[in-house]
Chains A and B, each alone.
Chain A
Amino acid sequence: MTGGASVTPEELTAILEDFKARADGNRLVQKMLKEWTRNIHITATDLSARPEVAGEAAAGGRTWTIVVDNGRIARVAPEPVEPRDVHIQAPAAALAGIFRGELNPAREFAAGNLKFFGSSKDEMRLDAVIDYIWE
């Protein structure tokens, strides 16, 4: 899977923020996000959920939300933002690798390391966004 190096919540936050910045600066990705509004939950299954954060324990681990609002990534929230439209679950190292462009999400998915919950169209769109950012 991922090489096994541990990733802290702070590192993962920074990686997701960097991903947002790259998406903001990519015209093709902006086109792909057009008219899209979704709360995308990203859960690191090997990082403990915080009991004080509502909904995190149910999500299965430490959770971030990429908030996509009408065609642009509005923010990366360090907690679950409701309502959840899409949910991605994976170990923190796999998530870090995927959002840094070092790991192939499809390969992690095929290997059973990454789980995706959402419509197949959302899956395609998100996969394409990740692919185009690192292409």
Chain B
Amino acid sequence: MGLRRSLRLRTLVAASAGLALASSVYPAAVSAAAAAGGRWVWLAIAVAGAFCVMASANFAELSAMYPTAGGVQVYVRHAFGERLAVTVSLLYVCLAWAAGAAEAYVFASVLERIFAATRLPVISAIPVEVWVLVVISFFFFINLRGIETAGRTQDIMTYVMFFLIFALSVWAVAVALARGLPLGGGGAATAAGAVTAAGALTTGGAGPGGASAATASTGGVAGFIQGIAYSVYLFIGFEWVTPLAEETTDIKVLPRAMPIAVVLLALSYAVWTTVMVTFVPVGVLASSPTPHLIFGEALAGPAGLVLVGVISALATFTSFNAGMMGNSRLVYGMAREGTLPKALSKIHLTYFSPWAALTFMFIVELLLALVLTLTRSFNIAILMAAAIECVIYFLVAVVTIKLRRTNPDAERPYRAPGGWVLPAVTAVVFALLALAVFFPPSPLLVGPVFALALVLSYLYARFAVPWIRARSGKASVSAARAVPKG
């Protein structure tokens, strides 16, 4: 019996890493390589991973203090009140839209390339816009039907992905050494890879860093810092496991699970990205939304393309499905508690899925993905998501500090090590990384779009939420008027 405390370390690591393992991380990783320089991208990813491990300690302390499925918004509410908590929740929704739209676009591009390469009749002629519609609709309908990936299935898929990524990376390193290619050198694309990349230039857009074949490998200290900032995108979602705190077998499992997941992600991304830029020039990869496919084809021809496509599909399935489910529930929860319009809290009476919230997320993500497809600017969505995540990590570090001051005697089953140093350093680092995302070679639009999202979220929390609450308050008072008091 017992629904309580059933989640073990293995499942929590898979849940934490599963959301972060997505198809859209590959163009983000290539952007990091373009900014930091191919030979140093592994270090940029490792440093970003180390910062995320520090951030995870703050999340662990707060989730142990408040082991509730409310997650970040509960921590922020305790430290700074409801207005900021609502603002953060809305930023999470924006992050979900940005990352979801980018993921849909990248995965649609993956399908388009694989079908084009395999030359399947009819299917290979379908344009990427249609694949975007198909991909988002598919995940919308399985979520609408309330189909969930069972915990064990999610575990298996995540660990299979890690195994495939590591195995392919090790094989690629062996091939590179055998061919005498300098690791991270990126100047030795095979003929097949070069041809594919040339094709990609006409169908894809510039990578998140805005790099093109001509401008890749920014390098230098500034480029390296920017490479770290871009690498934060690779870990997005590791902290979404904190709402599961109350279901863990031991409150101290979560503080171990998040760093393990981040280290596994950092290792796999660092090695994978290094071998990608070993086989194909950074500039060629950065010009495509599917650099991992270019690498797969350069490494092993059509078989490599299909194998990497399968890894990509698994990654999209686990991250997109869990993301759409989690975010529709977030929107539903916000509508139920009166911070979003009540109409978004409607539930499907057969499948018991939040159909109104799902439909809302579906429509916005579809529109965003189509905009990305038409403008080829999925880079802005990826960088927006990275910037929002940096701001949230910054805020969680500040919340940790604030609650230690205002609530020093509260029970803390886990405490982030290093006293004030760790949360303070985390806050400073992620504030700087958020700023780094806004500077060139990032597209100029990233800063204004982020500022718009932040200001609108705050104004909504400041003015719209009290109005919605006042209306729902009147309704609930009239509904409860005739209720016996026990």
**A84 at interface by CB-CB < 8 Å:** yes
Q: Is the CB of A100 within 8 A of B74?
A: no
**Chain B residues near A83 (CB-CB < 8 A):** 1
In chain A, positions 4-61 with a C-beta closer than 8 Å to chain B are 7-8, 10-12, 14-15, 18, 28, 31-32
Known: A106-B336, A111-B70, A112-B70. A7 touches B486 (CB 8 A): yes
Size of the chain B interface, CB-CB below 8 angstroms: 37
Select B352's contact among A12, A86, A104, A128, beta carbons within 8 Å: A128
State which of B177-185, B218-226, B378-386, B477-485 sits at the interface with chain A. B477-485
CB distance from B475 to the nearest CB of A (A): 8
Size of the chain A interface, CB-CB below 8 angstroms: 42
Select A31's contact among B3, B349, B483, beta carbons within 8 Å: B349
Q: Is the CB of B69 within 8 A of A109?
A: yes
CB distance from A43 to the nearest CB of B (A): 11
* Complex alpha-carbon distance, A105 and B335, angstroms: 12
**A75 at interface by CB-CB < 8 Å:** no
Q: Is the CB of B336 within 8 A of A112?
A: no
Q: Is the CB of A104 within 8 A of B476?
A: yes
Q: Is the CB of B337 within 8 A of A104?
A: yes
**Chain B residues near A85 (CB-CB < 8 A):** 3
Select B74's contact among A110, A120, A134, beta carbons within 8 Å: A110
CB distance from A7 to the nearest CB of B (A): 7
* Complex alpha-carbon distance, A15 and B480, angstroms: 13
Closest to B73 in A: A110
B349-360 CB contact bits vs A (8 Å, 1 = yes)? 100111000000
In chain B, positions 438-486 with a C-beta closer than 8 Å to chain A are 472, 476, 479-480, 483-486
Select A101's contact among B1, B3, B325, B483, beta carbons within 8 Å: B483
* Complex alpha-carbon distance, A100 and B70, angstroms: 23
**Chain A residues near B69 (CB-CB < 8 A):** 109, 115-116
Known: A12-B486, A14-B484, A125-B347. 7 other contacts (CB 8 A): A104-B472, A104-B476, A105-B336, A112-B68, A115-B246, A120-B329, A128-B347
Which B residues form the contact surface with A (CB < 8 A)? 1-4, 66, 68-70, 73-74, 77-78, 146, 148, 246-247, 325, 329, 332-333, 336-338, 345, 347, 349, 352-354, 472, 476, 479-480, 483-486
